[in-house]
Amino acid sequence: MDEHQNPLTYEIIKAAVAGEKWATEKIIAHYDSYIAELSTVKERQSDGSVKIYVDEDIKQSIILKLLEEIPNFPMEEAEKRAKEEAVDI
């Protein structure tokens, strides 16, 4: 999904850090195509061809790591930037 179609707002990030499931789902959706790209594997077959696929185990590991790190997001910095952006508008 294009990040412009699914922007991560301050409110979404704040809710995710607070543990809101809907917000963590939005973050995962925002990064889905990037995670799929990181999880893509090229595997050479016995006939010499190359099979390209998304390794679901790798993808789930990346998503799990993302979910583990969301509570560590630096909210103080995000709040400061959100206030600065509000002043610029």
pLDDT above 60 for 4: no
pLDDT at 1: 47
> Which has the closest alpha carbon to 70: 2, 18, 3?
18
What pLDDT digit, counting tens, does each position of 11-67 carry? Answer: 999 999 999 999 999 999 999 999 999 999 999 999 999 999 999 999 999 999 999
Query: Averaged over 1-8, what is the pLDDT?
Result: 64
